[in-house]
Amino acid sequence: MRNNHSPELVERSPVIRMLQAADLCYARIFHRLEVRSPCRLPRRGPAILVCNHISGLDPVLIQSVCPRLIVWIMAREYYEQPVLRWIFEQVMAIPIDRGRRDMSAMRSAMRTLANGHVLGVFPEGRIETTRALLPFQTGPATMAIKTGVPVYPAHIEGTQRGRPMLKAYLKPQRASVSFGPRIDLNRFCDSRNDVETATNVLQKAVRDLMTGI
């Protein structure tokens, strides 16, 4: 499914509804996901969701408690997994080549926002193995500033931290997720200093969710 379809059309499709129902059972029953504070994504219109990253299971758990379809930016090595590739294509995930500036992925992300979808990003750029947040990359802040799209922070924690992808998916885990309020970055311009400051704002919002502030 292509990301140039309207969000309403995509989210009402039988395939997406089937996947969301299966995800809800998988995350809330098999993995016993706890929601510490509810999802605050808007019912309509574009948004960017930023979250820390502790395992390859994170997008599945987060999506299970969000009524809107989240179009995730994800590492190409995960996207290319044969067993899961079909699902990633259906939910319009955007593969990105880590370790280099992937302009194709950035254009796809900007197009996703222009079409009114929710874009999901893990700004740390890789899975964290400790509870300390890794420095956030500037991509989400840059996109939010350029488009005027609001950002919503989230934080996830659980026993899946650091586990290999297959084990995280197949062995029951315990996890919790928290969502924070809307962040507008309209006061910033796209200068380097402003983008870095805005990135720090996003990282602090995720850290505050982690510490329960």
pLDDT of residue 154: 98
Q: Residue 136 falls within a domain, yes or no?
A: yes
Q: How many domains does the chain have?
A: 1
The pairing of beta strand 33-37 with beta strand 175-179:
parallel
pLDDT of residue 2: 56
pLDDT of residue 76: 85
Q: Residue 1 falls within a domain, yes or no?
A: no
Both tokens assigned to 15: 């395939």
Given 3-state DSSP classes, what are the helix, strand and coil percentages for the chain, each rounded to the nearest 5?
Answer: 40, 15, 40
pTM of the model: 0.92
Q: Domain of 116: which CATH number? A: 3.40.1130.10
Q: Residue 165 falls within a domain, yes or no?
A: yes
- pLDDT band of residue 78 (cuts 50, 70, 90) is confident
Name the residue with higher pLDDT: 132 or 98: 132
Residue 5 has pLDDT above 60, yes or no: yes
Both tokens assigned to 122: 């893990």
CA–CA distance from 142 to each of 148, 149, 183 (Å)?
A: 10, 10, 14
Q: What percent of the chain has pLDDT over 90?
A: 63
Both tokens assigned to 30: 């098999």
